[in-house]
Structure 1
Amino acid sequence: MASTELATERALYIGITISTVIYGGNLFLYVYSTYMLMTSSKPMQRRLFYACFGGLLFLLLTVSSASNAAFGELMWIERRNNPGGPPAFFAANLAAWYNAFGTAADCASNILTDGLLLYRCYIIWGSSLRVIIIPAIIYLGSISMAVMMVIESAMPMSDLWQGLAAQFGISWVALTVSFNVIVTALITFRLLLFHHRVQFVLTNVQRNVYTGTVAILVESTLPFTVLGIVYLATYIQNAPSAIAVGIVWGTFVVLTPQLIILRVATGIAWSRDTGSKITQTITHFDHSSSSGNINMIKVNP
């Protein structure tokens, strides 16, 4: 067996293994966040939206994970004695219906996740449309490339890692990574700005909730963005490791919004009026300081 073929199989195995572990984490997060949503006092319409949104993402992740598991089971167990062995099966079945179905599920979950991130950026920037114009244009471009990639990858004998399907795939990943880089930068800048402004106004607990390290990592989806950059770099080089990184990245597509939904469910996520409340608190604090009567003003999560 050639070293490249062995590296490809190893990458597929590692990717499936790691993604299975993350799948379990996604399951826990979805169940727990849904429980918190259903027992919270938030408006029912909002609770149902996030519960259904998280459930749809988890369903898509299940389809994608099942597709990868089925491909591995067929290649290494059921059809391992076919002429050419696992490498020949891998090359001949990349366009199989279950792989195309899994690819479509990955793309659909990514479209939903990027849509949620765009909305979160809009909310964190005080419902400012002009801030999200450029990310929105890139988002629409990534959707078109994702659709073209899914169609091309379903063609007979198509290869997601080479040829026209790979060109659409690289374009899709490049656009969605660019989108995530811009949105991550916008959200991180906004939260760091608020963190600097509220140092002497909010309590330590409140600062950590809204502008702390965890808040910045979750709200800005920084880990997901970094992993996307790594995936793009390996995909462009057609490296065998791109398979493992791509599978793991596909699970982070769902893990990222589930963490945001959990913050929403527990009442510590940014909402439409969080920024205005903090600004009012800062203004009140400034007035109190100028009058010599300084009181720590609390913003309830």
Structure 2
Amino acid sequence: MSYAPDESPADLLLERSNFIGGFLGNMAYGVHGTLYFVCAYLLIRRRRKVQMGFFWLVYITLLFALATIYVACGIKLSEMLWIDDRNYPGGPVQYQNQLFSNYVQLLISSSYNFMTFMADGLLVYRCYLMYSGSGARWIAVLPFLLYLPSTATSIIMLYQASRPQSNVWAQTAANYGIIFWSLSSTLNVLASILIVGRIYFLKKQLNDTLGPDHAKAYTSASAMFLESAALYSITSIIFVGTYARNNWFQNIIVPVLGQITCIAPLLIILRVAYGRAYTFKTMLTSTRIDWGTMSTLDPSSTEDSPNDARRLAPVTIPASGLHLRSNAGSATLADSTKDTTVTFPIPSTIDLEYNQ
């Protein structure tokens, strides 16, 4: 004797995929939450050392808040599907399709779109950061040109899906949805390729400047994977393929992708908090340069790292009117018409003040 509901095998498969996807999404949310609190702790503790630390703290907090809304509304929707309205004609699948415009599903879709907007924006910014100091800075414009239509189509898709008797699988909304996710995935893949390409191009320069041991923090395979947000790109490609074919597997991917959308930026910002992420100054001379000041820091050290492993590294700078200050003392270099090479130990902090 079977107690299966009076539904087609196809509908039951969709329900199973929704059920599995919800659990996997909640597991991914746990990973997201752990990374958020670790990253927030580091940004607060190292707030004086992390450039734009307050901005990144607000950024990850907003991402976490959106992800929390996404998960909470997903739980509420499951409650409505399986408990409150489980006798809806046609079952949970028809309930979800025909009542997509209710506030719970709108909050789920809106929070997801905002998370995508923020994650894609970070990738565009990282591309700009990578190429802003090079002669090929125009390359950074390419992801931005995809970012604008991607954002616009996501808003249109959400509007179309929220209309009465419509949903994200309806023809009009689905057309915009395919365009939106295709543009977003293309942006992610393009940005990932550009970032990895830039890192690979700078690999020899960083090895020569920092030495192979210290350069690993920037040029290792794991660093490339994290800096390029490849996890986000790969998952979004899988989702676009399943969504375009209206395959049931999309229901498993969507909740996980919603959290990976936040996890990938968190992994980048976590490297920022540790002082291991790429910056414009890192790529130029492996130093941190401000107006009138040049400071050289060990890229792989943290706030509490001991200064026991030292290596001599040369930096060539204009010598006229230069004052050298280090933790070992200070010295004034004589005026010269030629550049002077200063050799100092790493890790240590050295400020080179150039009076123009």
Q: Which residue of 2 aligns with 1:112?
A: 118
Distance 2:168 2:239 in 1: 14
- Checking the alignment, whether the CA contact within 8 Å between 2:50 and 2:273 is kept in structure 1 is no
SS in 2 for 1:263: helix
Distance 2:264 2:35 in 1: 10
Give 2:100's match in structure 1, choosing from 94, 103, 122: 94
Give 2:286's match in structure 1, choosing from 273, 278, 298: 278
State the TM-score, normalizing by the size of structure 1. Answer: 0.89
1:205 and 1:96, CA in 2 relative to 1: closer, same or farther beyond 3 A? farther
| Structure 1 residues 200-248: Cα deviation after superposition (integer angstroms, max 9, x where no partner) | 5534442221111221111101111011111111111011111221221
Stretch deviating more after TM superposition (191-200 or 148-157): 191-200
State the TM-score, normalizing by the size of structure 2. Answer: 0.76
Deviation at 1:191, TM superposition (A): 1.1
Stretch deviating more after TM superposition (92-101 or 177-186): 92-101
Distance 1:45 1:284 in 2: 25
Structure 2 letter corresponding to 1:178: T
The structure carrying a bigger strand percent of its residues is 2
- Checking the alignment, whether the CA contact within 8 Å between 1:75 and 1:89 is kept in structure 2 is yes
Q: Which residue of 1 aligns with 2:194?
A: 186
Distance 1:37 1:202 in 2: 25
- Checking the alignment, whether the CA contact within 8 Å between 1:54 and 1:258 is kept in structure 2 is yes
1:85 and 1:41, CA in 2 relative to 1: closer, same or farther beyond 3 A? closer
Distance 2:285 2:220 in 1: 17
1:3 and 1:205, CA in 2 relative to 1: closer, same or farther beyond 3 A? farther
1:89 and 1:300, CA in 2 relative to 1: closer, same or farther beyond 3 A? farther
Q: Which residue of 2 aligns with 1:222?
A: 230
Aligned residue runs from structure 1 range 63-74, under 5 A? 63-74=69-80
- Checking the alignment, whether the CA contact within 8 Å between 2:22 and 2:74 is kept in structure 1 is yes
| TM-align CA RMSD | 2.6
Aligned residue runs from structure 1 range 114-193, under 5 A? 114-127=120-133, 129-193=137-201
Distance 1:247 1:11 in 2: 11
- Checking the alignment, whether the CA contact within 8 Å between 1:203 and 1:298 is kept in structure 2 is no
The structure carrying a bigger helix percent of its residues is 1
Which sections of structure 2, spanning at least 5 residues, go unmatched? 1-6, 289-295, 297-312, 317-342, 350-356
1:3 and 1:299, CA in 2 relative to 1: closer, same or farther beyond 3 A? farther
Distance 2:206 2:348 in 1: 14
Q: Which residue of 1 aligns with 2:28?
A: 22
Distance 1:299 1:210 in 2: 16
Deviation at 1:16, TM superposition (A): 1.1
1:2 and 1:71, CA in 2 relative to 1: closer, same or farther beyond 3 A? same
- Checking the alignment, whether the CA contact within 8 Å between 1:202 and 1:297 is kept in structure 2 is no
SS in 2 for 1:156: coil
Distance 1:201 1:183 in 2: 26
Give the number of the structure with larger relative contact order, counting CA–CA contacts within 8 Å between residues 6 or more apart: 1
Distance 1:261 1:241 in 2: 30
Are residue 13 (structure 1) and residue 11 (structure 2) matched? Answer: no
1:300 and 1:82, CA in 2 relative to 1: closer, same or farther beyond 3 A? farther
Give 1:269's match in structure 2, choosing from 277, 292, 299: 277
The structure whose Rg is larger is: 2
- Checking the alignment, whether the CA contact within 8 Å between 1:195 and 1:212 is kept in structure 2 is no
- Checking the alignment, whether the CA contact within 8 Å between 2:106 and 2:162 is kept in structure 1 is yes
Which sections of structure 1, spanning at least 5 residues, go unmatched? 287-294
Deviation at 1:198, TM superposition (A): 3.8
Structure 1 letter corresponding to 2:171: G
Are residue 207 (structure 1) and residue 215 (structure 2) matched? Answer: yes
- Checking the alignment, whether the CA contact within 8 Å between 1:126 and 1:275 is kept in structure 2 is no
Please identify runs of 4+ aligned residues in structure 1 that moved more than 6 A: none
- Checking the alignment, whether the CA contact within 8 Å between 2:161 and 2:170 is kept in structure 1 is no
How many pairs were matched up?
Answer: 293
Structure 1 letter corresponding to 2:222: V
Stretch deviating more after TM superposition (83-92 or 103-112): 83-92
Deviation at 1:87, TM superposition (A): 2.9
Structure 2 letter corresponding to 1:219: E
Deviation at 1:199, TM superposition (A): 4.1
Structure 1 letter corresponding to 2:45: T
Deviation at 1:91, TM superposition (A): 2.5
- Checking the alignment, whether the CA contact within 8 Å between 1:16 and 1:247 is kept in structure 2 is yes
Paired-residue identity, %: 27
Deviation at 1:184, TM superposition (A): 0.4
